[in-house]
């Protein structure tokens, strides 16, 4: 049995696993991100965890390589981490070379959204498609592009920043520009809009549920209120669907994917979000385009990052020198 070592490096926890060629997780473990104060400690811990997983599954087997998804800016070509947004001490780290010298096996380092996009495209909700746009809706909005059957990373591996796509050229200015999607569609944007409606005196079950403490509002509460037919909650999701639908329409005109795969915590609202989202997308496209694109929920859940980190290894050119399918 061939497998890759996979690491999903998050701001809170580091998840590790063995991933086979079909994207199956054979074993996994995790440790807290703050448990390893620097790069050296992190690499040692990662090596120890992965060797333990391998030994438990098949002591005689060697991993074909190691793939790592990280939360920040990466130069994929060099496997070089510019910086990680929420993890101190990780600026200018040549992680691919560090891992190769330490472990003696091929290594791939990419950002976590790309890893998730690869996993969902190849083994999840986009399986069998050649053009997939992956969108993750959480605190922020991230994305990844799977074009013509492979990850597209752009000129300096920063492509796919769908959260900064502008939906209003005259919108409020942020450090990333004006009217960026993330300001309307992320958790903060969703909750902010709901609080605005409640403060304006709109009647809603939400007032009772959060006992007047509006700062206790969450996307999950909003989603539950929407399922009960609460008008304020429904309005928040419909507005989110219109903003996101506008961005997906633009992406359809530019990239014509076969499918949008939408994941992340906010996507947990299910049809409360997907039904108006599909309608908004359809209404914002000409029939030639509207009839040829689908919007589906992500399928791999919290495993996407780990499965994708493993899949990065299978795409390494080093593994395809003798024809690949060994």
> Would you tell me which residues interact with a copy of itself (CB under 8 A)?
73, 82, 130-131, 143, 145, 147-148, 152-162, 164-170, 175-179, 242-243, 246-247, 249-251, 253-258, 283-286, 288-289, 292-293
For the bound state, the minimum distance from the C-beta of residue 168 to a copy of itself, rounded and expressed in Å, comes to 6
The nearer residue to a copy of itself, 173 or 203, going by C-beta atoms, is 173
Q: Which is nearer to a copy of itself, 243 or 261 (CB)?
A: 243
Can you tell me which residue has the tokens 């690949």? 324
How far is residue 60's CA from residue 93's CA, in Å, rounded to a whole number? 32
Least Å from the CB of residue 143 to a copy of itself: 8
- CB-based contact 114:315 (threshold 8 Å): no
What is the nearest approach in angstroms of a copy of itself to the Cβ of residue 292? 5
Rounded Cα gap, residues 20 and 232, in angstroms: 46
Rounded least distance, CB 235 to a copy of itself, Å: 15
In the complex with a copy of itself, which residue's Cβ is closer, 255 or 319?
255
Q: Which residues are within 8 A (CB) of 273 and not within 5 positions of it... i.e. 6 or more apart?
A: 237, 240, 241, 262, 266, 267
**315-320-323-325 Cα dihedral, nearest 10 degrees:** -50
Q: Which is nearer to a copy of itself, 3 or 90 (CB)?
A: 90
Least CB distance to a copy of itself at residue 322 (A): 20
**DSSP secondary structure of 135-166:** EEESSSEEEEEEETTEEE--TTS----GGG-B
Min dist CB 85 to a copy of itself, Å, is 12
**Location of structure tokens 């004006």:** 178
Element (H, E) at 261: strand 259-263
Report helix, strand or coil for 299.
coil
Q: Which is nearer to a copy of itself, 8 or 112 (CB)?
A: 112
Cβ closest to a copy of itself, residue 72 vs residue 94: 72
């Amino acid at each position: 049995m061939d497998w890759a070592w996979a690491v999903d490096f998050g701001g809170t926890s580091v998840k590790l696993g063995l991933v086979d060629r079909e994207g199956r997780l054979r074993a996994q473990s995790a440790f807290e991100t703050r448990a390893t104060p620097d790069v050296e400690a992190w690499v040692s811990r990662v090596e120890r965890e992965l060797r333990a997983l391998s030994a438990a599954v098949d002591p005689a087997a060697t991993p074909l390589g190691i793939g790592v998804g990280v939360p920040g800016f990466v130069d994929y070509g060099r496997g070089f981490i510019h910086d990680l947004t929420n993890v101190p001490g990780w600026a200018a780290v040549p992680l691919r070379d560090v891992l190769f010298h330490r472990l003696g096996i091929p290594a791939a380092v990419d950002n976590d959204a790309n890893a998730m996009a690869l996993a969902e495209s190849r083994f999840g909700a986009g399986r069998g498609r050649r053009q997939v746009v992956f969108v993750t809706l959480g605190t922020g909005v991230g994305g990844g592009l799977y074009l013509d059957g492979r990850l597209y990373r752009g000129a300096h591996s920063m492509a796919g920043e769908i959260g900064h796509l502008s939906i209003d050229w005259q919108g409020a200015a942020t450090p990333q520009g004006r009217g960026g999607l993330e300001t309307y569609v992320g958790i903060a944007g969703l909750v902010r809009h709901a609080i605005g409606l409640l403060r304006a005196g709109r009647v809603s079950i939400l007032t009772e549920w959060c006992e007047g403490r509006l700062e206790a509002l969450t996307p999950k509460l909003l989603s539950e209120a929407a399922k009960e037919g609460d008008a304020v909650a429904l309005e928040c999701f419909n507005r989110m669907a219109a903003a996101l639908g506008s961005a997906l329409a633009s992406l359809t005109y530019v990239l014509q994917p076969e499918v949008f795969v939408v994941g992340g915590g906010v996507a947990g609202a299910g049809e409360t979000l997907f039904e108006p989202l599909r309608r908004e997308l359809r209404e914002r496209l000409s029939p030639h385009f509207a009839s040829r694109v689908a919007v589906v929920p992500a399928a791999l859940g919290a495993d996407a990052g780990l499965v994708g980190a493993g899949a990065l290894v299978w795409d390494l050119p080093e593994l395809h020198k003798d024809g690949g399918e060994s």
